[in-house]
Amino acid sequence: MALIEATLADNKFGMDIKDADGHVMRMDIPVEQGGSGSGFRPMQSMLAALCGCSSVDVISILEKQRQVLKGLKIEADGSREEGKEPSLWKKIQIDFKLEGEVEASKAKRAVDLSLEKYCSVAETLRRAGATITYSIYLNGSKID
């Protein structure tokens, strides 16, 4: 089996995307664009990949720092180039929301290392011209 396999899932644009391990996700386009709105839009999946990639880094780094992470939520939003095809991500804002017994300096270090050194998705988006900014919240309070 190919690393990624995309199969038409309905008579419109919905595709079931499967990886070599059998994990499946649905991709589609909105109803107003002719799809059925039954899955991630392709460009949304890029932000999802960014969140997923960075989460692995942050969790691993905090674990190595012996921090007790009890919860992690990452929210990403962005803007794309207007009036162009293809329309690439131009600006991406990520909010990291951490819960637990984590020192603020170590939370910041983990996020910095993820986005600036380890996360391949972040680097791919940057090389395509996207500016990535972020905020970190620890137990409900924003940290610098």
Query: Each residue of 26-83: pLDDT tens digit?
Result: 999 999 999 999 999 999 999 999 999 999 999 999 999 999 999 999 999 999 999 9
Q: Do 110 and 132 share a structural domain?
A: yes
- Give which of 74, 94, 87 is closest to 128, Cα–Cα: 87
* Host domain of residue 12: 4-33
List of residues 6+ apart from 46 with CB closer than 8 A: 89, 121, 125
Q: What is the pLDDT of residue 10?
A: 80
- The distance in angstroms from the start CA to the end CA of the chain is 46
CATH number at residue 55: 3.30.300.20
Q: Do 15 and 50 share a structural domain?
A: no
For residue range 87-132, list pLDDT tens digits in order.
Answer: 999 999 999 999 999 999 999 999 999 999 999 999 999 999 999 9
Q: What is the pLDDT of residue 144?
A: 83
Q: What is the pLDDT of residue 55?
A: 99
Q: Are 58 and 99 in contact (CB under 8 A)?
A: no
pTM confidence score: 0.93
- Mean pLDDT calculated for residue range 133-140: 98
How many structural domains are present in the chain?
Answer: 2
Is 70 exceeded by the pLDDT of residue 1? Answer: no
For residue range 7-24, list pLDDT tens digits in order.
Answer: 999 878 999 999 999 999
